[in-house]
Amino acid sequence: MSLTTKRIIVASLSFFFLAALLVVAFQESKRLRVEEGEVPVITAANRGCVECHSKDSPALVMEWERSGHAQYGVGCVDCHGAEATDPDAWQHEGVWVSALVTPKDCAQCHAREYEEFSKSHHAKAGQILASLDNVLAEKVAGMPGNNADAVNGCWQCHGTIVKFKRDKDGNILKTGKENKPVIDPNTWPNSGMGRMNPDGSQGSCHACHSRHAFEAKLSRSPENCGKCHMGPDHPQIEIYNESKHGIAFYANRDLMALDKQGDWVLGRDYSAAPTCASCHISSYMTPQGATVENSHDVGERISWTLRPAISTKLNLVIYEDGYKEDFPDTRPAPQVGDEIERTEKVVENETLVTKKVKGKVAQVITWEERRKKMKGACLNCHNDTYVDNFYKQFDDLVTLYNEKFAKPSTKMINDLIADGVLNKNAPFEHEVQWTYWELWHHEGRRARHGASMMGPDYTHWHGMYEVSKHYYTKFLPEVVEAAATRGVGMKQKYERIVGQLLAQDEHIWMKGLSAKEAEELRKMYQNRYNQ
């Protein structure tokens, strides 16, 4: 081979090598620009929207431009496009659109997520419309006329029925040259988790995936859940913040891979701390090296219900039509193939109604199986003994709350109703009803949630301390006071009931500490404070 030929070969190889480097560099540069939201793909169908709204609402367009949607050419019309027959549609610049984007719209691309979410507790959050919580907002703290407390408070987290203004014949009112439907301002804007939409879907995806950037890091961050999961009755974000998990997260946020595209797996993509999503939604690695897939059904891994007056463990019944129903462990679980009549709440004519539906059982998932799945996330950072012992501590706290306070107080309220002392249709008529409500709905929940998420201050001082203080100093005396409104005989009956209760071992402390205990307490106080 001649020297010239060798030079030609070397030059050719060098050229191809350089070209390959340039291609790789271009692709890497493109990937980085895409990740940074610098290359929005504007399709012909969306070009007019982007050009107009870049002037009319520029920040909105900027948010979209840096979204994953924009990088793949998913634009305004793809999400906001509507059929002419949709009740919320109007013709805008020659295109049928709707301001209201529902889970059904998102399902065009995210079918699995839609199916999981639509069967979840989150999707049913709007059913609070028929609860005591909503009675407080609409009746006690509400009126005159516009339910402003419920609208601005409850419904912005839980969601509500999206309604339209109508004429005297029931037709939707339209406005402007485009005949835009007039949405009832009490029901929109609303990004409540269980919003009930005109297309029959329930929920609002952007409750977690805030529009129009839809950043992954936002939905993975605990603050996102804290918008709703906070406050006196369910302070999950406050509990998380005081827990070791929360402390580790905020100290190591930059190690959490929150911006990672695609699946986000505990034990593979990050390890610094779990967030709410880590435990309740996201994927995680198992000790065997397998990956447990994420799920938009946030209740899949929950084995206790900490919401009602008395906690129960929860078996999950899944029907052939996909509907999911929690069965408390106090209720016999059905068998696969059983046909059961269940109660569902659905929207008809912009009203929430209850219907009886028969369904065949396809699967029963026990509370133990649900717990095992949650433990799988825990085992990424903790060993079996640690996890099992944590659950024993948690279970013991819930059992203590149930047996010492929740069950006895619930029985007394029910007995007072049965004896005609309390009116079941007037749930906040007497002081004892308010106290009972806060015992379980506020203080009892705080204690249970505190134990579930390793928040000691919420478990005790904001929880069991408040429960016990108000149980002894308010609830029990108020039971007798309420009974007295029905006469001396009724008062004496409940004095006996309360007396018998306080004679039980768990309440014997009210008669005073033993001499030994009192002396130890006195010495400790003297040694610590010299008083």
Give the pLDDT means over successive 10-residue stretches in the chain (531 positions): 59 57 47 58 96 96 95 96 95 94 97 96 90 87 83 94 96 95 95 96 95 94 96 97 98 97 95 97 93 95 97 97 96 96 94 94 98 97 97 98 98 98 95 98 98 98 98 98 98 98 94 89 91 86
Which among 455, 465, 303, 283 is positioned nearest to 391, based on CA atoms? 303
- What is residue 29's predicted lDDT score, i.e. its pLDDT? 46
**Is residue 169 helix, strand or coil?**
coil
- What is residue 138's predicted lDDT score, i.e. its pLDDT? 87
Which among 333, 326, 284, 304 is positioned nearest to 120, based on CA atoms? 326
- What is residue 15's predicted lDDT score, i.e. its pLDDT? 57
pTM of the predicted model as reported, rounded to 2 decimal places: 0.89
- What is residue 24's predicted lDDT score, i.e. its pLDDT? 47
- What is residue 139's predicted lDDT score, i.e. its pLDDT? 85
* Measured CA angle at 225 (ends 354, 120), to 5 deg: 35
Whether residue 332 contacts residue 264, with contact meaning beta carbons closer than 8 Å, is answered with: no
- What is residue 531's predicted lDDT score, i.e. its pLDDT? 86
Task: Count Cα neighbours of 80 within 13 Å in the Cβ-side half-sphere.
Answer: 18
- What is residue 18's predicted lDDT score, i.e. its pLDDT? 58
350-395: per-residue pLDDT in tens?
999 999 999 999 999 999 999 999 999 999 999 999 999 999 999 9
- What is residue 240's predicted lDDT score, i.e. its pLDDT? 98
* Measured CA angle at 193 (ends 187, 196), to 5 deg: 50
- What is residue 143's predicted lDDT score, i.e. its pLDDT? 76
- What is residue 39's predicted lDDT score, i.e. its pLDDT? 80
- What is residue 492's predicted lDDT score, i.e. its pLDDT? 98
Q: For the stretch 362-382, what's the b/e string if a residue is b when 16 or more beta carbons lie within 10 angstroms of its beta carbon? A: eebbbbeebbebbbbbbbbbe
Residue boundaries of the structural domains of the chain: 103-207, 312-373, 394-529
